[in-house]
Amino acid sequence: MRLVVLGAPGAGKGTQSARLMQKYGIPQLSTGDMLRAAAVAGTPVGRQVKEIVDSGSLVPDEVVLKIIAERISRPDAARGFILDGFPRTVNQAEELDALLRVKDMKLDAVIELKVDESALLGRIEKRATETAARGCAARADDNPKAFRTRLAAYRKMTAPVSAYYARQGLLKTVDGMAPIDAVATQIDRAAESFVRI
């Protein structure tokens, strides 16, 4: 099963993708996690993107496309994967289609988590507080200033990705305002219509 999980910052993509990973035994491929890990490790890519990621802007398409091309070619992704935070631009979506085409693969579905914009900042601040309470460093972009940049990037660059997948008949929209378990149930219901692992 090959899935994309779409949604604004704070919509719950990471939470739901992690649950899908457990349920279906396929990897959750989060470009945000990969970029943050590269930044922490101080790799050339990490050094290149750290400031961009921390500010809430989008990393150039060619950087994320290279990372994703390498990642989906690994053996653990052969049975499927959940893309979390990718694609974030229509160009990325087109390039992903091209990448999959040469592997004779295609996406099964795209789950979009719809959340009221007024709830997003509160969710992100809650995540930062909870992370700090666990004694871990909060994400550098989980603050009001970077959040505004992230939301602007989402509206301008990522929202059109939903229409791109709707045209392909792949888009399933889910109410992301519901409690986590209820969102999960909606996703499972949507998944039942296409699961073929």
Give 93 or 187: the residue with its C-beta nearer to ligand AMP: 93
Query: What residues between 123 and 162 interact with ligand AMP by CB under 6 A?
Result: 141, 150
Q: Indicate the residue among 53 and 183 with the shorter CB distance to ligand AMP.
A: 53
- At 113, the amino acid letter reads L
Question: Got the DSSP string for 94-152?
Answer: HHHHHHHHHTT----EEEEEE--HHHHHHHHHHHHHHHHHTT-PPPTT-SHHHHHHHHH
Stretch that binds ligand AMP, among 55-63, 74-82, 107-115, 185-193 (CB under 6 A): 55-63
Among 86, 147, 164, 165, binds ligand AMP (CB under 6 A): 86
User: Using an 8 Å Cβ cutoff, are 152 and 134 in contact?
Assistant: no
Q: Is 10 in the site for ligand AMP (CB under 6 A)?
A: no
For residue 101, indicate whether it is catalytic. Answer: no
Stretch that binds ligand AMP, among 25-33, 71-79, 97-105, 125-133 (CB under 6 A): 25-33
Among 31, 72, 82, 190, binds ligand AMP (CB under 6 A): 31
Helix then strand then coil, in percent of the chain rounded to 5, is 60, 10, 30
Residue 132 has which token pair?
């700090």
| Number of residues binding to ligand AMP, judged by CB under 6 A | 19
**What whole-number distance in Å separates Cα of residue 106 and Cα of residue 102?**
10
Contact 52, 141 (CB under 8 A): no
**Residue 20 touching ligand AMP (CB under 6 A):** no
Strand partners, 114: 175
Active site (annotated) includes residue 36: no
Residue nearest to ligand AMP (CB): 32
Neighbours of 181 (CB within 10 A): 9
Q: Which residues are catalytic?
A: 13, 88, 127, 139, 150
List contacts with ligand AMP (CB under 6 A): 9, 30-32, 35, 52-53, 56-59, 64, 85-88, 92, 141, 150
